[in-house]
Amino acid sequence: MKINLLSLLLVLNLILSGCGTSSKKEEKTDGDLSGVTNESFKWPAPRGYEVVDDFLDGKAADYDDVLKSETLSKIPPKELEEPTSVDRSIDKAILACYRGNYSFADKIFDSLLKEYRKNPIYWNQVGNCFMMRGETRKALLYFNKSRSLKSDYAPPINNIGVIFEKKSFDQKALKSYEEAKKVSNFSLTPIFNLAQVYARYGFISEAKQLFESMIRMNSKDQDALHGLAYVEFVSGDIQGAIRAFDRMERDYYEKPEVGVNLVYALVLSGNKDKAKDIYEDLKPTSNSSLQAYLAQVGGLLK
């Protein structure tokens, strides 16, 4: 299965520690330099940007949502293919990052530096790897490096927005998502991120339009359907929200952040029996805010 990594989150500079740096150890040559020529110091021709490099040839869970074709960030690591079982080196590094094997990923990225030094995909993916381990300042430098090589490349622009959003700079995040959407109309992740920001700040009609545009591109997009259900719900269209939920897979309801909204909508529509059925199948969560919300909604079922 080919996974389009166009908008991997989810969001290099050689002076940074980690990927792309060289060892400071001196090699022992024992004075034998007979095999060293000018060719020994030449770097290979750089591999420029190619659309094919935006696709990962690896097996992953077949999810019908915005993440299915553009990012691996929500797919459980155990459901991703082992890095060693894929052919391309950059694919190995990407999968290693998402499986949390950062040291293995670093080694591969280091080995690819000379070949991919002028490739925006490479720097964006290294930035992703740093962001996954919580090093957002380094990630931001790498995303900016990627942008400097290809100014209209959407992934690093989107990922910079993710960093801003994580730091609660929502206005800056909004601008990044809008720019990423502008340069890549067919990339769903910036659209989804933008719609979420709109919904959070009460721009319901704008958010609804974006979620609906995603559904037109993929009628089975579970994340977009949930987003549409949410904005219908908060705008007071309970039946519209339920219709959007009805288009989703039943397994998706088990996610507490999804199912709890359906339960609430069903209660308000008078269908407590179905609401109880959904509520009982919700998976546990460690999120304290979500736990409180679940308790409140559960109280309506008594």
The number of beta carbons lying within 10 Å of the beta carbon of residue 295 is 9
Query: Can you give the pLDDT at residue 114?
Result: 92
pLDDT digits (tens, 9 = 90+) for 56-101: 665 544 444 544 557 666 666 776 778 777 778 888 898 899 889 9
Could you give all domains of the chain from N- to C-terminal order, each with its CATH number? 212-302 (1.25.40)
* Count of other CB atoms within 10 angstroms of residue 270: 9
pLDDT digits (tens, 9 = 90+) for 96-134: 998 899 999 999 999 999 999 999 999 999 999 999 999
HSE-CB of 37 using CA atoms within 13 angstroms? 2
What letter represents residue 197's amino acid?
V
- Residue appearing with tokens 């094997």: 101
Place of tokens 């609430």: 264
| pLDDT surpassing 60 at residue 40 | no
Token representation of residue 299 = 């109280």
pLDDT of residue 187: 81
Structure tokens at 43: 């770097």
The maximal CA–CA distance of the chain, rounded, in angstroms, is 86
Q: Please give the share of the chain, as a percent, with pLDDT higher than 70.
A: 77
Mean pLDDT of all residues in 212-225: 90
Determine how many CB atoms are found less than 10 A away from the CB of residue 254.
Answer: 13
Q: In the prediction, which pLDDT does 16 show? A: 36
Amino acid identity of 166?
K
For the chain, the average pLDDT equals 83
Q: Which residue, among 169, 176, 170, 171, has the nearest Cα to 191 in the 3D structure? A: 176
Is the predicted pLDDT of residue 243 greater than 70, yes or no? Answer: yes
The closest alpha carbon to 244, from 254, 255, 258, belongs to 258
* Amino acid occupying residue 11: V
Contact 55, 2 (CB under 8 A): yes
**Section 37-43 average pLDDT:** 64
